[in-house]
Chain A
Amino acid sequence: MKVSLNIVKQYTKVDLSVDELVSKLNQQLGGVEQVTDLADKYKDAVIVRVLSAVKHDNADKLSVCIVDDGGAVADVSRDQAGHVQVVCGAPNVRADMFAVWLPPKSTVPASYEDKEPFVLDVREIRGVLSNGMLAAADELAIGTDHEGIIEIDPSEWRPYTTELKPGASFAAAYGLDDTIIDIENKMFTHRPDCFGQLGVAREISAILKGLPADSNDVDTRFTNPDWYWVKPAFEPGKGLELKVFNDVPDRTPRFMAVAMQAVAVGSSPLWLRCALVALGSKPINNVVDITNYVMLMTAQPTHAYDYDKLRGAALGVRMAKSGEECSLLNGKSYVLTEDDIVIVDGEGIIGLGGVMGGGNSEISAETKNVVFECATFDMYTVRKTSMRHGIFTDAVTRFNKGQSRLQNDRILAWLMTFAGQLSHAEQASAVFDLPGNTGQLDDVSLSGEIPISADFINARLGSKLEQWQIGGLLRRTNFASYPSDDKSMLLVTAPFWRTDIELPEDIVEEVGRLYGFDKLPRELPMRSIKPAAQNPSVVLKQRIRHSLSRAGANEVLTYSFVHENVLRRAGQDPADAYRLGNALSPDLQYYRLTLIPSLLGQVHGNVKAGHDSFALFEIGKGHTKDQLDDAGLPKEFECVASVITDKRKTGAAYYQAKRFVEELLREFGLRASVTYEPFVLDAMTKKAAYFAPGRTASIIVDGERIGRVGEFTPTVRQNFKLPDYSAGFELSLTKLLKLQRPHGYVPLSRFPHVTQDISIKLPGEVSYGDVYQLAQRTLATTLQPDTTAHIVPFAIYQPPEGAARTISLRIEVTHTDRTLTEAEVTGYLEGIAAAAAEAYPVPADV
């Protein structure tokens, strides 16, 4: 929101520096994004009187002019009378006119922002010296007109008091010696009134006042201009027939219109053009300019139609029909929906309500009669229409914040006055005022009277304000406030333009802001010494991080969204994944199904960067389409996943990944409870299709599948350029959280354990797990009381030829009360050997 300091100063005194003001605005109104010093751009433009303009001897279209700058410009060659010679090519240059002179060494304002601004000089033009130039509107960046130079009419009304005489600063005379303060739009999402200069001026007035002193009657109220403050009375008006209708009272809380006749369309007075330019708008003609100016001043968008282009002399508002088309002022056509508000004449659409007018009713040089509209539209509908069709205008910015429906009459009256002054238009119809169904239009406030106590406010701010001080603060922004009959409450009424005041809390905000939030006492809340509970999930994740990083792995974080190709390369089906509909980046197409593909995508880059051996792990979430949780939201599969790789190693990386899994399970007391089953790729497990069957295991604890560990399929290895020695695992955190248990502890014995190894030759199809369990079962039945045994894997040998394998186990046996003999331990081992020979006989030929 661009704010002109010069315009603000027309409404309130500002007697501090720009820096101080900006700091105040930041503290008490909203974040200032940018401050632009307009004055510097126009500092050299001087108002001069043209004394004579004589045709150039050697050029038909040029005039040699003598101008009077009152001697204001230094270092310029002058004639004996002290006047300056300038050659001018404009057809409208003539003696006795006032013009704008850009002297030598000055920068042409239109080129001010250019990389290489155009600096004027003394130039010889066809044998005649010219000192700088007389400026046209385009050179001053206040219009596109280059037909002639700017002609200043000293008798024309201006909002500034600088005297118009030769040598006067052009910028000062027309308010271009301005500072433009740009405040973040975000700040005013709930403050539609602050999208007008008047609204911001009111706020500035309010925050520059000190805290009311001891007296209740110190009036620090902002003085609104009469045209805004006083409710207008309209004349009946006649001359042109006009039908006005509001067919959507639920979405158009107020629709006002009036016809005016005998309009003289032309360019706006110079002050108005300059004001529009200062606020970043473009002057067009005196009819359109006043609608824009009124909007920039009050935040209320208005629209002007060419009366003679309105078919059936009608103007109204209705909802569009589905598929209906309209073409707008931007030259584009749109196909509308039933949720778009449209402005129509007797036959069809002439504008998109609250968004943009149509090209078919535009004001042109030939326009004789106009209709002004001043409406309020439902903010949500306007916003949706704007988003749906991708049209963003100044009107949308204001309407989608919800303008007050109580200001339309005042604004339309001001617009009519302006039109009369600037284009000699006369009221030619009644002023139509069609209410919607949201309430009376004569209310002085949208909020009504809100009772609030000083205690309520102080309890929320921590302040110690008295009732009268609160009243004084609120009056600054034109709130009415009176003590209730019993004096216990303050009865507060927001002014008619405030749409954001609904609750007592909204008044708390207003008081706090005007008082100054930085003045609030800072004290910590008091609490009991009861400990704050730990979150088991947070603790679990911290332990996983510590365990895996201690095992030499690196924690990474990768995006939750992936490109379709990542899913495909990992063997996953994008149809299973939630798809993003609006991502700016093509890399973010789908929610990832699992974490492993993201990790696989990070291996090659790290190998290339010179890392030969590493393990990446991530704790995160996967989502699969159509799997919902109890709340009807997509189920979140939280897991820890890891990919382990070594560029230098060969062999089965599976066992390395499994080593990491076991280390992690040890951390959670599950090392002794885990078993492994071959991973089967089916409909349930297809999102893990990157794992190679035969070289991947399901991890089972207490009969529950808690994850998988395995190598990747050759296709996946190739797709992600993985080193041959690569494997990974994924574990469900939900399951881990549920199954985790304290570490199992066996009391220490005072006696040493006895260790013996056993090697068992087995047929090819017997797994290590079978043998291990057999050994455990056997020991469980044969061990004497008070004896414990611990089985440690030792070796698995398979000769180059032949299927039989020899599995060697190391058995550590301990007795609580005595030292065991070697013979006792041998007995246990023989038991295992016998059991194995019986369970898994080795055929003679292997």
Chain B
Amino acid sequence: MQNSWRCSRLEMARSDILDAKMSYKDQQIAEAAVVLEARFATLETKADILKAPELKALYEQIRTLPDEQRASFGQEVNALRQELQAKIDAASAVQEVLPPLDITAPMDVNAQIPELLPTDQGTTHPLTQEIAAIVDIFGRMGFVTEESREIDDQYHMFESLNFPKGHPARDDYDTFMTVETDADGEPFIAPAHTSTMQNRTLVKYRENLSKGDAIAAIVPDRVFRNEDLDARHEHTFYQVEGIYVAKGVHAGMLIATLQEFLQEYYGQKLEVRVNPFYFPFTEPSFEFALSCPFCDKKGCNVCSYEGWIELLGCGMIHPNVLRAADIDPTEYTGFAFGCGIDRLVMMKTGIEDVRHFESAKLDFLEQF
């Protein structure tokens, strides 16, 4: 180690400036200098000294003086201002220089090794807790877990999912785009669904099919929609995408699989239903609803007194999506679904405002 554990010489030099005193001929300016120097020491934001009313008053006074006095008075006021500026610069420069530490040591000199914080203070995030629960349930059902990206290209967001360029359904996703562009000159995007991983996952596990196994994967991760925030809308949230491809997979299996998952997640028997919907990457497409787990379909504020909760979008994977991953859609079929995780968790735990999740408020986090 070359450094010593003491104040540097540089710092000493700067403290000289701080302690320096200047003398002013004009009595009024000299008095103001004393007052301002005293106040400088007490100020938290040192730059505020330049906004002091005393200094302002001196400047205003210049105009009122007779010509013969004006020049010398003005010069002294300026000198005072420069002195104060030098003090501000010196003060911030001193702050920049901290004595170096022995970074290899486990503790400071003359001190104990610091303790970790009390274990009972530590928490994990409610969303990551629930994602772990989801990964666990699907893991037991035979699904592997994949992770998504935070910045991706339009091919994975749209093209590989059967949204050609200019497709009107692209508008439904309120996708954040970067100013920077990829090799094709297209802006990068912040994934608006974890379906961006469908193509990659199908390709990665394609070999499963020839071995007679299924492609079974979920992708729980962060997604983004360019929306204004309120208690029910976040621009950043979490979604779990699911994919299942094998021989003879049909729409009834999709419904049954999701029903099993939700029953396990909520720990009770639930009714489910599907309504037709439209997504370019599934055919047929569904909107999937479950009977409200909190009121036994009688109606409560969780389900807006409907008895049913519209939870997720799903469908049979479009043959073009399978083809884009070099899977023969005449031989293999599959289903996919995408479910918002924040909402699942909010319903399960009664969290009233989706914005709490990304707020990093300890008062919130400590409850989980």
**Residues in A lying within 8 Å of B, measured CB to CB:** 26-31, 186-191, 379-381, 383-384, 387, 400-401, 458-463, 503, 505-506, 508-509, 512-513, 517-518, 520-525, 527-528, 530, 532-535, 537-538, 542, 545-546, 548-561, 578-585, 588, 591, 599, 602, 605-606, 609, 611, 613-616, 619, 621, 623, 625, 632-634, 636, 651-652, 654-656, 658-660, 662-663, 675-679, 692-697, 710-711, 713-715, 718, 764-770, 772, 793, 795-798, 803, 805
List residues of chain A with CB within 8 A of the CB of B92: 714-715
A710 cross-chain contacts in B, Cβ below 8 A: 103
Least CB distance, A795 to chain B, in whole angstroms: 8
Asked whether A694 lies within 8 Å of B278 as measured between CB atoms, the reply is no
Q: What 3 pairs between A and B have smallest CB-CB spacing?
A: A552-B117, A769-B104, A380-B166
Q: Are A797 and B144 in contact (CB under 8 A)?
A: no
B281: min CB distance to chain A, Å: 12
Residue-wise, chain B 258-275 has the 8 Å CB interface mask toward A (1 for contact) of 011000000000000111
Known interface pairs A189-B168, A524-B253, A557-B357; A591-B151 also in contact (CB < 8 Å): yes
Measured between C-beta atoms, what is the minimum distance from A669 to chain B in Å? Answer: 19
Residue of B nearest to A458 (CB): B250
User: Known contacts A30-B276, A380-B167, A606-B361; is A527 also within 8 Å of B98 by CB?
Assistant: no
Kindly list chain B residues whose C-beta atoms are within 8 Å of the C-beta of A458.
Answer: 250
A383 with B168: CB separation less than 8 A: yes
Would you call B228 and A584 a contact (CB within 8 A)?
Answer: yes
Residues of A near B123 (CB, < 8 A) are 549, 554-555
Choose from B118, B275, B362 the contact partner of A606 (Cβ within 8 Å). B362
Q: B187 to chain A: which residues have CB within 8 Å?
A: 581
Instruction: Name the CB-closest residue of A to B250.
Output: A462
Cβ-closest chain B residue relative to A652? B108
Interface flag for B185 (CB, 8 Å): no
Q: In the complex, which of the residues B166, B168, B226 contacts A582, with contact meaning CB atoms closer than 8 Å?
A: B226
Known contacts: A462-B250, A655-B106. The answer to whether A623 contacts B166 by CB under 8 A is: no
| Contact A517 B177, beta carbon cutoff 8 Å | no
Select the stretch in B2-10, B33-41, B50-58, B82-90 that faces chain A.
B2-10
A655–B260 touching, CB < 8 Å: no
B235 within 8 A of A: yes
Among candidates B183, B252, B362, residue contacting A523 with C-beta atoms closer than 8 Å:
B252
Q: Would you call B105 and A533 a contact (CB within 8 A)?
A: no
Interface residues of B in 112-134 (CB under 8 A from A): 113-125, 127-128, 132
B277 at interface by CB-CB < 8 Å? yes
A548–B119 alpha-carbon span in the complex (Å): 9
B20 in contact (CB, < 8 A): no
- Decide if B139 touches A714 in the complex (CB within 8 Å): no
Stretch at the interface among B23-31, B62-70, B283-291: B283-291
User: CB-nearest residue of chain B relative to A207?
Assistant: B276
Cβ–Cβ < 8 Å partners of A663 in chain B:
116
**A556–B365 CB distance below 8 A:** yes
Residues of A within 8 A of B361 (CB): 605-606, 609
CA distance in complex: A28, B135 (Å)? 32
B207 interface contact, C-beta 8 A: no
**Residues in chain A near residue B108, CB distance under 8 A:** 651-652, 654-655, 796
- Inter-chain CA distance A581–B180, complex, in Å, is 9
Q: Decide if B106 touches A768 in the complex (CB within 8 Å).
A: yes
Q: Is the CB of A521 within 8 A of B363?
A: no
With contacts A654-B103, A803-B4 taken as known, whether A532 is within 8 angstroms of B178 at the C-beta atoms is no
Q: Does B294 contact A (CB under 8 A)?
A: no
What is the CB-to-nearest-CB distance from A479 to chain B, in angstroms, rounded to a whole number?
A: 16
- 8 Å CB contact of B277 from A30, A538, A772: A30
- CB pair B5–A764 under 8 Å, yes or no, is yes
Q: Which of A550, A676, A772 contacts B122 (CB 8 A)?
A: A550
Chain B residue at minimum C-beta to C-beta distance from A800:
B110
Residues of B within 8 A of A588 (CB): 176, 235
- A187 in contact with B110 (CB, 8 Å): no
Contact A768 B333 (CB under 8 A): no
A696: which B residues are within 8 A, CB to CB? 103
Whether A535 pairs with B145 at a CB distance below 8 angstroms is yes
A554 and B121 contact, CB distance less than 8 A: yes
Does B328 touch A at the CB level, under 8 Å? no
**Bound-state Cα–Cα, A538 to B120, Å:** 24
Is B168 a contact of A400 with CB atoms below 8 Å?
Answer: yes
Q: Is B95 an interface residue (CB 8 A)?
A: yes
Pick from A383, A461, A675, A711: contact of B250, CB under 8 Å: A461
Q: Are A556 and B213 in contact (CB under 8 A)?
A: no
A696 to B101, CA, bound (A): 8
Interface residues of B in 218-258 (CB under 8 A from A): 222, 224, 226-229, 235-236, 244, 246, 248-253, 255-257
Least CB distance, A522 to chain B, in whole angstroms? 4
- Looking at the assembled complex, report how far the CB atom of A308 sits from the nearest CB atom of chain B, in whole angstroms: 37
10 new A-B pairs (CB below 8 Å) besides A561-B224, A634-B188, A803-B6? A458-B250, A462-B250, A520-B252, A527-B214, A532-B142, A556-B125, A557-B360, A606-B360, A695-B98, A793-B107
Q: Is B152 part of the binding interface, using a Cβ–Cβ cutoff of 8 Å?
A: yes
A694 and B101 contact, CB distance less than 8 A: yes
Q: A485 CA to B96 CA in the complex, in Å?
A: 89
Q: In the bound complex, what is the Cα–Cα distance between A383 and B360 (angstroms)?
A: 40
Minimal beta-carbon separation of A206 from chain B (angstroms): 12
Bound CA span A518–B271, Å: 11
Selected from B110, B150, B283, the residue in CB contact (under 8 A) with A623 is B150
| Cross-chain contact B228 with A379 (CB below 8 angstroms) | no
Q: Is the CB of B109 within 8 A of A797?
A: yes
- Check if A517 sits within 8 Å of B276, measured CB to CB: yes
Provided the pairs A606-B362, A632-B182 are in contact, do residues A31 and B275 lie with their beta carbons within 8 angstroms?
yes
CA–CA, A101 and B167, complex, Å: 50
Residues of chain A lying within 8 A (CB to CB) of residue B347: none
Q: Which residues of A contact B146 (CB under 8 A)?
A: 535
Given A614-B362, A769-B104; A579-B109 close (CB under 8 Å)? no
Q: Are B358 and A559 in contact (CB under 8 A)?
A: yes
Which of B102, B214, B287 is in CB contact (< 8 Å) with A768?
Answer: B102
CB distance from B199 to the nearest CB of A (A): 12
B143 within 8 A of A: yes
A557 B252 Cβ-Cβ under 8 A: no
Task: Determine the chain A residues whose CB is within 8 A of the CB of B236 once the complex forms.
Answer: 559-561
| Contact partners of A581 in chain B: CB under 8 A | 177-179, 187
In the complex, what residues of A have CB within 8 A of residue B122's CB?
A: 548-554
> Contact at A636–B142, with CB atoms within 8 Å?
no
Contact between chains at B166 and A602 (CB < 8 Å): no
* Cα–Cα distance between A723 and B222 once the two chains are bound (Å): 31
In the complex, the answer to whether A505 meets B278 with C-beta atoms within 8 Å is no
Q: Are A512 and B360 CB-contacts (below 8 A) given A538-B145, A655-B108, A793-B113?
A: no
* Pairwise interchain contact A797-B104, C-beta atoms closer than 8 A: no
- Alpha-carbon separation in the docked complex, A590 to B215 (Å): 36
Chain B residues whose C-beta falls within 8 Å of the C-beta of A551 in the assembled complex: 116-117, 119, 122
- Are A512 and B251 touching (Cβ within 8 A)? yes
Measured between C-beta atoms, what is the minimum distance from B100 to chain A in Å? Answer: 3
B1 contacts chain A at the CB level, 8 A cutoff: yes
Is B150 in contact with A636, judged by CB distance below 8 angstroms? yes
What's the least CB distance linking A55 to chain B, in Å?
58
In the assembly, what is the distance between CA of A599 and CA of B359, in Å?
11
Q: Determine if A506 and B213 form an interchain contact, defined as CB atoms under 8 angstroms apart.
A: no
- B316 contacts chain A at the CB level, 8 A cutoff: yes
Q: Quick one: closest A residue to B187, CB to CB?
A: A581
Given contacts A513-B284, A578-B180, A805-B109, contact A714 B333 (CB under 8 A): no
B177 to chain A, nearest CB (A): 5
Indicate if the CB atoms of A578 and B117 lie closer than 8 Å: no
Give the CA-CA distance A537 to B249 in the complex, in Å.
29
Residues of A within 8 A of B100 (CB): 678, 693-695
Kindly name the residue among B113, B115, B255 whose own CB sees the greatest number of chain A CB atoms within 10 A: B113
Interface CB pairs A-B, < 8 A, 12? A30-B275, A31-B310, A505-B318, A524-B256, A524-B257, A548-B122, A551-B122, A553-B117, A554-B366, A623-B150, A634-B188, A659-B113
In the assembled complex, the CB of A98 is this many whole angstroms from the nearest CB of chain B, namely: 45
Is B298 among interface residues, defined by CB-CB distance under 8 A? Answer: no
